[in-house]
Amino acid sequence: MAQDQANEPERVFNMYKKMLLIRAFEEAAGENFHAGNVRGSVHQYIGEEAIAVGICANLRKEDLLTSYHRGHGHSIAKGADPRAMMLELFGRVGGTSGGKGGSMHIADFSVGMLGANGVIADGCTISVGAAQAIKLLKQDKIVVNFIGDGGINRGPFMEALNWAKIYNLPVLFVCENNQIAATTTTKTVTAGEGIAARAESYGIPAITIDGNDLLLVDNTSARIIDEIRSGSGPQLIQAMTYRLRGHFAHDKALYRIPGEAEAALEFEPVRRTESWLITQGISEEELANARDEAEQTISQYVVDAHAAPWPDIADAFTDVQDVGAPQVGVNS
């Protein structure tokens, strides 16, 4: 843990509980994927929770956030309702998108979460545009764009960095560097010194931190977000982390060096936060209770998701467009 942090144990404990909620959600999502209850693709955020929670603890409800395919953690951290998210994963009525989006299109606009995204780095360009709207509307908000390390080799990321800088936009880019893009080790396909160097080449301040250190993420983002609110223009945080699971739930991650994932457990954020909380006088029992509470909460959402109705077929034809809208059952 960071040596210079001054976090209140109560604040950290609350962040810890948020991390537990994300982890329980992701474990349940994976289990229900394997059980056949959740279809398509589920990209779990297990092992990376401290980044979303530490960053979002410093955001306001009205601040905006864009994410990528691994977006459950960002959504929960920003304040989206995990029950509605679980219903969405099950494709049911009451889901965040009414069952029309699923895991990769989780969104909750009521808390400024503008969507996970199935296309790598597309959130970057959406973010800078949202920030331009904020300036035009003279609003006091910022935009946070989460991106993975695989995304930094796409053009839209580099275009968006340039764009954010030339218009001095209130955007925080957060690269969650879990060091592997799907199954390919990122550094084998990335020239130069990597993401922070790329941002700096555009004149964007960039910092690399241990993303599994919740207190460090919290403190660093508190300072940087404050600067962005004060008009610093865009900044970038590269948060180093490790994906404890495969790229998606059905990926057994056989490309890992044997023993690598086991070794990484020592540095994973939930345990590290627990160790710190114990030094602050939080008891093992309190931690166990918090874990139980998160797991029970999510278990209930799974029960709710099983019980929720399937969407009506007619729902497939709504919210396409107003002008030239489709009619149910008409293909032309």
Could you give the CA distance from residue 192 to residue 195 in angstroms, rounded to a whole number? 9
Task: Output the smallest distance, CB 221 to other proteins, in A.
Answer: 21
**How many residues touch other proteins (CB under 8 A)?**
51
Burial class of residue 216, CB neighbours in 10 A (0-12, 13-18, 19+): buried
Which region among 51-59, 216-224, 292-300, 315-323 touches other proteins (by CB under 8 A)?
Answer: 315-323
Task: Output the smallest distance, CB 210 to other proteins, in A.
Answer: 30
Task: Output the smallest distance, CB 97 to other proteins, in A.
Answer: 3
Site string for other proteins, 188-227 (x = CB under 8 A): ----------------------------------------
Distances, alpha carbon 296 to alpha carbons 19, 290, 291, in Å: 15, 10, 9
* E strand or H helix that includes residue 303: helix 284-307
Number of CB atoms found within 10 A of residue 32's CB: 20
Which region among 7-15, 153-161, 175-183, 223-231 touches other proteins (by CB under 8 A)?
Answer: 153-161
Q: State the Cα angle at 300 between 298 and 303, rounded to 5°.
A: 115
Query: Is residue 124 at the binding interface for other proteins, with CB under 8 A as the rule?
Result: yes
Task: Output the smallest distance, CB 62 to other proteins, in A.
Answer: 11
Q: Are 149 and 178 in contact (CB under 8 A)?
A: yes
Which region among 127-135, 176-184, 219-227, 267-275 touches other proteins (by CB under 8 A)?
Answer: 127-135
User: Binding other proteins by CB under 8 A: which of 3, 6, 36, 136?
Assistant: 136
Short-list 194, 208, 214, CA closest to 267: 214
Which region among 174-182, 191-199, 202-210, 312-320 touches other proteins (by CB under 8 A)?
Answer: 312-320
Query: Is residue 125 at the binding interface for other proteins, with CB under 8 A as the rule?
Result: yes
Residue closer to other proteins, measured from CB, 117 or 178: 117
Task: Output the smallest distance, CB 236 to other proteins, in A.
Answer: 17
Distances, alpha carbon 33 to alpha carbons 28, 36, 96, 292, in Å: 8, 5, 18, 22
Site string for other proteins, 48-87 (x = CB under 8 A): ----------------x-x---------------------
Query: Is residue 321 at the binding interface for other proteins, with CB under 8 A as the rule?
Result: yes
Query: Is residue 320 at the binding interface for other proteins, with CB under 8 A as the rule?
Result: yes
Query: Is residue 228 at the binding interface for other proteins, with CB under 8 A as the rule?
Result: no
Could you give the CA distance from residue 128 to residue 133 in angstroms, rounded to a whole number? 9
User: Binding other proteins by CB under 8 A: which of 26, 48, 63, 108?
Assistant: 108
Query: Is residue 322 at the binding interface for other proteins, with CB under 8 A as the rule?
Result: yes
What DSSP string describes 147-190? Answer: EEGGGGGSHHHHHHHHHHHHTT--EEEEEEE-SEETTEEGGGG-
C-alpha 134, offset from chain centre: 22
Query: Is residue 308 at the binding interface for other proteins, with CB under 8 A as the rule?
Result: no
Structure token pair of residue 55: 């960053």
Distances, alpha carbon 132 to alpha carbons 69, 114, 202, in Å: 24, 15, 18
Could you give the CA distance from residue 21 to residue 272 in angstroms, rounded to a whole number? 16
Query: Is residue 133 at the binding interface for other proteins, with CB under 8 A as the rule?
Result: yes
Instruction: List residues near other proteins by CB under 8 A.
Output: 64, 66, 95-101, 105, 107-110, 114-115, 117-119, 122, 124-137, 155-156, 159-160, 162-163, 166-167, 318-324, 326, 332
